[in-house]
């Protein structure tokens, strides 16, 4: 059992201050730094650590760090921020 706040990812949400709307329609914390759950398998964004979202990524959905630009990702290398479906997220390490 857990509480879930739903939002509309297309319109930017309607989440409380300090939260962002994840691609799966759940409000998750908005913050900086690399989330601890990046790369872990998830069912939805509430399975991920704060500051990360659950995105389909290969065989199973995984927790990913959202980004807008390459510099938003650890290391900031060219191509670090990639499009995953309709959402930009930091590339997972192999």
Per-residue pLDDT tens digits for 4-37? 567 876 655 578 888 878 878 888 777 666 788 8
pTM of the model: 0.70
pLDDT at 1: 45
Long-range pairs for 28-33: beta carbons < 8 A, 24 or more residues apart: 28/52, 28/53
Distances (CA, A) of 85 to 5, 32, 61, 82: 22, 22, 12, 10
Closest CA to 20 of 35, 34, 5: 5
Tens of pLDDT, residue by residue over 34-69, are 788 899 999 998 899 888 889 987 789 999 998 889
Does residue 92 surpass a pLDDT of 50? yes
63 CB contacts (<8 Å, ≥6 apart)?
35, 37, 38, 39, 40, 42, 47, 48, 49, 52, 53, 54
């Amino acid at each position: 059992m857990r509480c879930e706040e739903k939002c509309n990812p297309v319109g930017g949400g309607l989440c409380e201050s300090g939260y962002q709307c994840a691609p799966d329609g759940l409000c998750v914390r908005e913050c900086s730094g690399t989330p601890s759950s990046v790369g872990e398998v998830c069912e939805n964004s509430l399975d991920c650590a704060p500051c990360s979202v659950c995105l389909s990524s290969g065989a199973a959905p995984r927790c990913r760090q959202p980004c807008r630009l390459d510099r938003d990702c650890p290391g900031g290398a060219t191509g670090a921020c990639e499009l995953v479906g309709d959402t930009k997220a930091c590339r997972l390490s192999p």
